[in-house]
Amino acid sequence: MINYRFVISLLLLSLPVLAFSQVNIYDNAQNLKVLPENTSSDTLRNTMKGFALGTGFRCSACHVGEEGQPLADYDFASDEKELKGKARVMLKMVNSINSTLLADLGEAGTEVSCVTCHRGVNKPVLTSAVLAAAADENGIDGMTAKYTELRARYYGSHSYDFTDMTLSEFAGSRVAAGHPDQAMAMLDLILKDNPDSFMAQFTYAEIYHRAGNAELAIERYQKAIEANPTASGFLQQRIDQLKAPAKEN
C-alpha cells in the first residue's frame, strides 16, 4: 500500500519554498558538521530528499519536530535526536568510500549513496535475513506471514529481492539450519507466485535427493527440466542415478 503521507512529505521537501509558510527551510542552514558550511540551499534540499528516499526515514526521525507540524517550525539545528548523530557517521562513511576506497579500487567515477544499501528501508537487511529471523522466531507461520507482508508492500521495488534464485537459496539455507519443513514451505510460496520456477523445482529435488526419497526427487527433477530444458543434461544424469538399481555389496 502506498504511504501517501510519506509521498506528500517528499514532494514538500523538494519544493524551493514551502507554500504554507513562505519560508525556505534550506536557506542559512545552521550546525552543519559533515556537509560543508557553505552548502547551497538547492544542494541541501536535494541531499535531504536523497536521504529520505534512500532510507525511508521521515524528517522527524533525525530532526526535532512532530509529524504534521510545518517543517518551518522544526528545530533543524538541534542535535537532540540520536539518529542525527548516526546519520552523520553514515555520511562520513559514504564520503570515505566515494573519495578514497573506490579510487583505490580503480573505480573512480562510481559512487555509493544511502540508497545503495538501504534501498528505501530504514534497516539495510537482506530478504533472506528478514525471513530467517521470522522463521527462527515463529516457525513456518512467521516466515510465511513475513514473506506475504514484504511481497505485498515491496514487490516491484528495489527494497527486497523476490527473485526465485534468492528465495530458493534461502530455502536451501533452512535445510542447512535443520529446518527442511521451512525450506519446503518457502519453495511452495515461490511456486505459488512463480509456477515455472526452475530454481524452486531444482531445490525441491535436491532436498528429496539428499533425504533419500528417490521417487519425489525424480518427480521434481523432471519438473525442473520442464521449466528449463537446457538443464536436462545434468538433471537427467541425476534421474538416471536414482533409477539405477542399487549395487550389491
CA triple 149-151-152, angle to 5 deg = 65
Residue 41 and residue 24 in contact, taking contact as beta carbons nearer than 8 Å: yes
pLDDT recorded at residue 11 = 52
Residue 190 and residue 183 in contact, taking contact as beta carbons nearer than 8 Å: no
Strand partners, 75: 64
Q: What's 163-223 look like in SS3?
A: CHHHHHHHHHHHHHCCCHHHHHHHHHHHHHHCCCCHHHHHHHHHHHHHHCCHHHHHHHHHH
pLDDT recorded at residue 16 = 47
| Grid coordinates given for 30 | 545552521
| Grid coordinates given for 130 | 528478514
Rounded CA separation 25/118 (Å)? 26
Per residue in 190-208, pLDDT (tens digit) is 999 999 999 999 999 999 9
Nearest CA to 95 out of 68, 69, 114, 82 is that of 114
Rounded CA separation 68/48 (Å)? 18
Per residue in 78-113, pLDDT (tens digit) is 999 999 999 999 999 999 999 999 888 888 778 999
- Give the 3-state secondary structure of residue 64: strand
Stated as kind and residue range, the H or E segment containing 134 is: helix 127-154
Rounded CA separation 136/123 (Å)? 19
Rounded CA separation 159/186 (Å)? 19
Q: Is the pLDDT of residue 7 over 90?
A: no
Domain ranges of the chain: 4-118, 127-243
pTM score above 0.75: yes
CATH architecture of 127-243: Alpha Horseshoe (1.25)
Give the best-scoring range by mean pLDDT among 15-24, 154-163, 236-245: 154-163
Average pLDDT over residues 121-132: 96
Average pLDDT over residues 222-232: 97
